[in-house]
Structure 1
Amino acid sequence: MLNKIQNFISVSLKELLQYFGSTNFSKSVLTVVAVITPLSIGISTGYTEIGVAICFGAFWCNPSDVNGSQKHKIYGILFSAALVMVVSFIGGYLHYATWLALLILGVASFAISLISSYGFRASLISFSGLLALVLSFAHTPDKLEIYEYALLVGLGGLWYLALSLLWYKINPKGQTEEILYDTIGRTGKLLKKRAQLIDEQSNRKKLQQRLFLLQSELTEQHDTLREILILSRKNSGRSTYNGKRVLVLVQLIEMLETAGANPVNYTKMDEQFKLYPEFTKLFQNLTFEMANQLQLISEIGNKPSKMPKHDALTNHFEELRIKISALGTVKDAKAYEAFIMFQNLLEYQEKQFDKLKRMKWLLSDYDVASEEFIDKEILKRFLISQDYSPRILLRNLSFRSTIFRHSLRLAVTLMIGFVVGNVFAFQNPYWILLTIILIMRPNYGLTKTRSKDRTMGTIIGGVIATVIVYLVQDIYVYAVLALISFIVALSMLQKNYKLSAIYVTLSIVFIYGILQPDVMTVIQYRILDTLVGAGLSYLGFLFLWPSWSFQEIQKDVTKSVEANRMYLTEIADFYRHKGSVPTSYRLARKSAFLETSNLSSAFQRMTQDPHSKQKNLNKIYELVELNHNFLSSLASLSIYIQHHTTTEASERFNSIVFKIDENLSLVMKTLSNSISTGDEPNFEEVGSFEKQLPKFDSENVNLNAEDNNALKRNHQEEQLIWEQLRWLYSLSSTMMKLTSSL
């Protein structure tokens, strides 16, 4: 019992220290400093309105300060500052007439929301603009002209930018280190799930779903790290620190690919592990140890002296090599087939170990710059550049666009919220509007979750605030609690929305506790306004031009199939021509992993829609799983041909690749409804071709011949290449049948 308590305290303390060291916490402290400083100076010098305007500008520019390159951060904050300045100028006229305010609110909120068409960072800039618009109802400057107030709001944005740049100078590596070590830890989690999949008794469907989610998260983090590291190199030139982190990222990307690789499909693996069950535990223990080491590296951070040693892994490998070598001496066809499969699987794990060792070395104190390995110009090609041309906006001015429908839905819901707040004379009608813009999102699942979390968080926060206000009547205590609550609320916004809502409510109640005596009324109205705003957000999504995932997911499936197809083409070309791995090959791999990850995210959104809108859910899930398995098989081929000297590509190889490509082409045509008469798939011919596919036949191997390493190597290649081609063809055929039935 004592050990459990000590362990709990130790874990909690470690998590608390990680929280205090996180970029979310430092950014929330920075925001509080940016807000409190001008407000305090304004109040103490008698220029309160100037302080309030600068304080608002700083606060409204906070959302656009997200993870990414410093250059993109600066542009994001500057655009936010410009937008909130314009919106504050427009908002200054909202108090002249109710009908005018309603009209401006609708048009402005629609236009601001459309900015989200330009991607994630643009959606946060859009959110800053919506905050400024809604909070224009909360504050009317008396001593300042509207244009003066707007300019001061813009100045507040620049003030926040200056603080952000100052913090970057003080702690330039903080963001990179946090995301990098978090990515290493998540890679360890992915390896653990992969190890569990080896066991036939595991819940594979549940594990696969968790793997899909983990892969999506890792792909997203890889993109963020690419942006931070590659653009930093571009702007600041050669840097040993930066170069080492780029190379660590390369290892992590390749580890993700290797983690998905299997020498055969799971059905075939199960057969071999059933015959030789001792290998199940041996391979699992090996992978678990690698996963544990990755998670340990993520926990220790930048402390080379605490880096885990290779000894445990070396022992696991040695034990496996001895066992596999002994299996190779058994003069039996089934044993030999198992030997070849286990040997290929072991070599995949050896490649994974090589990447882990390289990563440990790079994170130690050795000097190395990535220019020794990777060309600077090639690196830039791996960045995903956002198109900011006007045609993107024009393309989204259509009901086919999810962003257009969301913008229209949000604008109408805000107008309804404004009317409800004024007709029923709510104490603070803008709280209803604020709740709507905080909750309403382009997809149903997130809107529903946020509605529940916001409501529950506000009620819990209201109850806690009531107890504290009842027990304590000291404005100085309220001030401290408001400050702490505000910092926690901002730092938890991305990680735990419900917890963030609790602390937002607490901070608002304590601020009002300082300003006015009747705090209990404030709590009641706060809860009521939140309930109305949450209800309007939820109903607004259901009845105002809803965007359901089943309407969009076929596009995501098509993109994933197309990316896998291009990756297959690159792998086949490399197998034919050998030589060094071209950049186009690595770009195709990146695209395949990215699009498969996007497909998983789209399916996840679909599962959160109402059951009546989850059309063809089982078939779509099967397509998602088939695409993941297809990518896994491609990864297996990719890794093998990159790291082994292979034989010449045969005509049979080329013809099978051509047939797989043909199947994928028909899948894409079927999904896009562009298949023409006469192009329909002939499933009898497909089945007939599959039966004729070559396979490694251990029965024909002369087991009495002298031990020949070259011969075994050829058998390994033969077993892996033909097995993967058979699997790829089978997967593409199943995809074709499935899409034909949709």
Structure 2
Amino acid sequence: MSTATTFIYEHIKELQQFLKSVNFSRAMRVGMAVTLPVVAGIQLGCLEIGLALSFGAFWSSPSDVTGSSQHTKIGILISATLIMLVSFIKGYLHFDLWLLLPLLGLLTFAIAFLSVYGFRASLVSFSGLIALVLSFSHDSEVLEVYQYAALLGAGGLWYLLLSMIWYRLNPKAETEEFLSETYMLTAEFLETRGKLINPHADHKKLQAQLQRLQSQLTENHKTLREILILSRRTSGLSNYQDKRLLIFVQLVGMLETAIANPGSYDRMDALYKDHPQFIKLFQHLIFEISYQLRMISLAGTDKKKLPKNDKLRQCFKDIKLEIDVLRETLNYAEYLMLQNLLEYQEKQFEKIKRIKWLLGEPNSTEIDAIDRKVAKRFVALQEYNPILLLRNFSFSSTIFRHSVRLALTFMIGYAIGSLQPFQNPQWILLSVIVIMRPSYGLTKRRAKDRIIGTFIGGAIATAMVFLIRDSYAYGVMGVASLVIALSMLQKNFRASATFITLGVVFIYAILQPDIFTVIKFRIVDTLVGAGLSYAAMRWLLPTWEFVEIKESIEKSVKANKDFLHQITQYYLYKGTIPTSYRIARKKAFLGTSALSSAFQRMTQEPMSKQRGTDEIYELVVLNHTFLASLASLSTYIQHHKTLEASEQFKIVSDKIDENLQKVLQCLSNNKCGGKWVHAETDPNLKPLLPKLNLLEVKNLPSKDKEAIRNLQETHLVWEQLQWLFSISATMLKMAASVKLDG
């Protein structure tokens, strides 16, 4: 196949996936919800009613996001109610500019401040802000204020009805898409881990890539938990949801095993340097597992397309042969390290086989369904207590500062648009609410993308207006452009801004003959809105990440400390794995991902507003490395029958816990003297370490699996304890030296 043919084929596949995606489906739903009332209104001679219903549907649509269907319904209903209230209030705001500005600022603050209740509440808030802004562009001359507001609410109900019907037609779509994306992200994570095996690879770059992928995966896991655990189960979907939840559990386990490192990085690098043949062998194995996950993703629900296990079995066979050949020459540490690494990959293979079995439509009686009451403990439920508003009503709250900043920017933007000869001053405000975010880096990037997208859209619109002079064509292209824009909003903001500009221009082309003036003011208004957003984030009550990141580090260290405690308790007392253990593991993974995201936001801020970047980066990396070691211990003790824990194990784990507690105290009050800081090699630790030697491994019969297993366990556990102690001591030194207060 030629390069050109391959290029075309890949892009056709991408287009097909885009057209099947939930985002495109949702955009089509919005397009229908907006278009049908207008068409019906024109046909029945009730255009004002049709427009009101259309606006209500469009303004309520942002709350329609992936997650629990019940939460989505509630979100749309609250959005419709807020839109009614905002439009009713706006209908009576006919005051002079000097009085209107503070009222507009108060209303904007109140709507934006609802975001303290989490992500879904921020979308409800966004609906209210859109209603406030766009209500300036249309005052009904036929309907009374209360009638118009009521019809906007009815439009929200119309959108909710359409959304529910759409869901009933294809209730599995969101689950399948997010599972498919999770397969792909997990495959990419595994592939990146495979590349790290090479000692000559760019480890810093690959580690950064792993942190990014882990953040994306934990976000996907969070969404899937909500979809699979909180969504109502109907008789037709019950078995399907049970199987998908079990598949999700396997994918979470694969991420933990992939993060796990059965030995310190230095010793692993030394092993691969001395025996480079294992680099190729293990990479080939890991890449094949990654490839199989991609094939599972592409297979979807078609079990005939699921990949076979033959290649993976051959990979394991090749590695085992090579280990047996080198058994006589390897020292005990190398041999046991390779054995443990091989077993970790075997666990991945077991999970892959389990996923394929579940996708192969097994009999429901063969499936051990997960207890939903227990599973709900893994979903972080949002608190909706009104006390949250009071708790966040201070300048120490990021949402409060953002709400004040947005309100002041609104007032400035509306004043500029009203006092200067702007054709559509509301477009300035629309640019502000679309661009401005609590994070400086995201606001800057969205401002840039919005400007570039608007210029591109304006240029394309100008060329098309020259070529086409048909109002019906403008209408079709306008709706199509808005559908594409909405479907790309989450994935590619620049492309979305381009199509939004096209859609707005085509719709205005139907209403106004001087379309080039519309294009000109669209660009000017966007530039003003983007400039105001950037300036406000830079100088108006700015929030800098170096002030906030201390809390992210504390939360991550605390989560790792809790996970260590659960691992220690389970290793000491055995039995069944408690739910608290799994919850602690989930929080540890979420904590490290949140810390990585916070650090990335920090690096996007102006250099003058960054503090201790190198030290903070080191703490972030150490925290990730600590979690990798915890994951290694966790993976091993979950899947193997372990020996009775020694008193030495308890002593060393207590020392590690003590170090982490001191790290938290250092971060909390920035007062920790040199006497707190341990040396990386505690002199009291050496006598506790087990005495192993090469002869123990060489003289063991190959069939004495129990003896080999005991040696593997001893080696892995003590290797990880040494590594955890070393990392915790280094973290304590870093925490004692870095200054994180602004």
1:598 alignment counterpart:
594
Q: CA deviation at 1:600?
A: 0.9
Code of the residue aligned with 2:255 in structure 1: it is: L
Q: Which moved more, 1:281-290 or 1:292-301?
A: 292-301
Identity of aligned residues (%): 53
* 1:335-354 matched pairs, under 5 angstroms: 335-354=331-350
Please say if 1:406 is aligned against 2:402. Answer: yes
Please say if 1:683 is aligned against 2:678. Answer: yes
1: CA distance between counterparts of 2:119 and 2:522?
30
Question: Which residue of 376, 384, 387 maps to 2:380?
Answer: 384
1:274 alignment counterpart:
273
2:450 alignment counterpart:
454
1: CA distance between counterparts of 2:179 and 2:254?
14
Q: CA deviation at 1:692?
A: 5.2
**Is contact 1:461-1:506 (8 Å) kept?**
yes
Q: Deviations over 1:285-321 (max 9, x none)?
A: 0000000110111122111110000011011011111
With over 3 angstroms needed to count, the CA separation of the structure-2 counterparts of 1:413 and 1:705, relative to structure 1, is closer
Q: Which moved more, 1:600-609 or 1:448-457?
A: 600-609
With over 3 angstroms needed to count, the CA separation of the structure-2 counterparts of 1:225 and 1:347, relative to structure 1, is same
Code of the residue aligned with 1:732 in structure 2: it is: S
Please say if 1:316 is aligned against 2:315. Answer: yes
**Is contact 1:458-1:530 (8 Å) kept?**
yes
1: CA distance between counterparts of 2:259 and 2:693?
26
With over 3 angstroms needed to count, the CA separation of the structure-2 counterparts of 1:284 and 1:428, relative to structure 1, is same
Q: Deviations over 1:50-80 (max 9, x none)?
A: 1111111100011010000100000100010
Question: Which residue of 622, 626, 630 maps to 1:634?
Answer: 630
Code of the residue aligned with 1:64 in structure 2: it is: S
2:531 alignment counterpart:
535
With over 3 angstroms needed to count, the CA separation of the structure-2 counterparts of 1:583 and 1:99, relative to structure 1, is same
2: CA distance between counterparts of 1:493 and 1:449?
14
1: CA distance between counterparts of 2:140 and 2:365?
55
1:133 alignment counterpart:
132
Counterpart of 1:683 in 2: which secondary structure? coil
Q: CA deviation at 1:367?
A: 2.8
Please say if 1:212 is aligned against 2:216. Answer: no
**Is contact 1:233-1:242 (8 Å) kept?**
no
Question: Which residue of 544, 548, 554 maps to 1:552?
Answer: 548
TM-score for the superposition, normalised by structure 1: 0.97
1:32 alignment counterpart:
31
1: CA distance between counterparts of 2:429 and 2:242?
47
Q: CA deviation at 1:700?
A: 6.2
**Is contact 2:677-2:733 (8 Å) kept?**
no
2: CA distance between counterparts of 1:109 and 1:456?
27
2: CA distance between counterparts of 1:664 and 1:86?
50
Q: CA deviation at 1:335?
A: 3.6
**Is contact 2:332-2:692 (8 Å) kept?**
no
Please say if 1:710 is aligned against 2:706. Answer: yes
Code of the residue aligned with 2:253 in structure 1: it is: E
With over 3 angstroms needed to count, the CA separation of the structure-2 counterparts of 1:27 and 1:696, relative to structure 1, is farther
Please say if 1:733 is aligned against 2:732. Answer: no
1:437 alignment counterpart:
433
1:254 alignment counterpart:
253
Q: CA deviation at 1:688?
A: 3.2
With over 3 angstroms needed to count, the CA separation of the structure-2 counterparts of 1:143 and 1:652, relative to structure 1, is same
**Is contact 1:696-1:723 (8 Å) kept?**
no
**Is contact 1:695-1:723 (8 Å) kept?**
no
1:75 alignment counterpart:
74
Code of the residue aligned with 1:485 in structure 2: it is: S
2: CA distance between counterparts of 1:710 and 1:155?
70
**Is contact 2:680-2:730 (8 Å) kept?**
no
Counterpart of 1:425 in 2: which secondary structure? coil
2: CA distance between counterparts of 1:445 and 1:59?
28
2:171 alignment counterpart:
172
Counterpart of 1:374 in 2: which secondary structure? coil
Cα RMSD (Å)? 1.7
With over 3 angstroms needed to count, the CA separation of the structure-2 counterparts of 1:139 and 1:706, relative to structure 1, is closer
2:113 alignment counterpart:
114
Q: Deviations over 1:200-237 (max 9, x none)?
A: 11111111111111111111111111111111256769
Please say if 1:701 is aligned against 2:700. Answer: no
Q: CA deviation at 1:690?
A: 5.1
2: CA distance between counterparts of 1:264 and 1:622?
20
With over 3 angstroms needed to count, the CA separation of the structure-2 counterparts of 1:735 and 1:682, relative to structure 1, is closer
Code of the residue aligned with 1:683 in structure 2: it is: H
1: CA distance between counterparts of 2:332 and 2:230?
50
**Is contact 1:432-1:529 (8 Å) kept?**
yes
Q: Deviations over 1:516-555 (max 9, x none)?
A: 1111111001000000000000001111100110111110
Q: Deviations over 1:94-125 (max 9, x none)?
A: 34432333122100100000000010000010
**Is contact 1:247-1:370 (8 Å) kept?**
no
TM-score for the superposition, normalised by structure 2: 0.97
With over 3 angstroms needed to count, the CA separation of the structure-2 counterparts of 1:721 and 1:175, relative to structure 1, is same
Code of the residue aligned with 1:524 in structure 2: it is: K
1:187 alignment counterpart:
186
2: CA distance between counterparts of 1:353 and 1:247?
16
1: CA distance between counterparts of 2:462 and 2:687?
75
Q: Which moved more, 1:100-109 or 1:77-86?
A: 100-109
Q: CA deviation at 1:710?
A: 2.6
1: CA distance between counterparts of 2:625 and 2:60?
43
1:357 alignment counterpart:
353
With over 3 angstroms needed to count, the CA separation of the structure-2 counterparts of 1:232 and 1:510, relative to structure 1, is same
Please say if 1:578 is aligned against 2:577. Answer: no
Counterpart of 1:442 in 2: which secondary structure? coil
Q: CA deviation at 1:171?
A: 0.8
For structure 1, the residue ranges without an aligned partner over 5 or more in a row are none
Q: Deviations over 1:567-602 (max 9, x none)?
A: 111111111111111111111111111111111111
**Is contact 1:246-1:370 (8 Å) kept?**
no
Please say if 1:99 is aligned against 2:98. Answer: yes
2: CA distance between counterparts of 1:26 and 1:685?
55
2: CA distance between counterparts of 1:268 and 1:629?
14
1:669 alignment counterpart:
665
* 1:150-169 matched pairs, under 5 angstroms: 150-169=149-168
Q: CA deviation at 1:482?
A: 1.1
Question: Which residue of 609, 617, 623 maps to 1:621?
Answer: 617
Question: Which residue of 424, 440, 447 maps to 2:420?
Answer: 424
Counterpart of 1:688 in 2: which secondary structure? coil
Q: CA deviation at 1:671?
A: 0.5
With over 3 angstroms needed to count, the CA separation of the structure-2 counterparts of 1:685 and 1:207, relative to structure 1, is closer
Q: CA deviation at 1:5?
A: 1.2
Q: Deviations over 1:342-396 (max 9, x none)?
A: 1100000000100000001111122337972422221111111100001111111
Code of the residue aligned with 1:207 in structure 2: it is: L
**Is contact 1:94-1:136 (8 Å) kept?**
no
Please say if 1:10 is aligned against 2:9. Answer: yes
2: CA distance between counterparts of 1:167 and 1:238?
16
2: CA distance between counterparts of 1:600 and 1:237?
40
Counterpart of 2:363 in 1: which secondary structure? coil
Q: CA deviation at 1:641?
A: 1.0
Q: Deviations over 1:103-157 (max 9, x none)?
A: 2210010000000001000001000000001111111111111111111100000
2: CA distance between counterparts of 1:695 and 1:114?
58
**Is contact 1:454-1:501 (8 Å) kept?**
yes
With over 3 angstroms needed to count, the CA separation of the structure-2 counterparts of 1:468 and 1:685, relative to structure 1, is closer
2: CA distance between counterparts of 1:472 and 1:373?
59
With over 3 angstroms needed to count, the CA separation of the structure-2 counterparts of 1:680 and 1:167, relative to structure 1, is farther
Q: How many residues align?
A: 737
With over 3 angstroms needed to count, the CA separation of the structure-2 counterparts of 1:723 and 1:571, relative to structure 1, is same
**Is contact 2:552-2:595 (8 Å) kept?**
yes
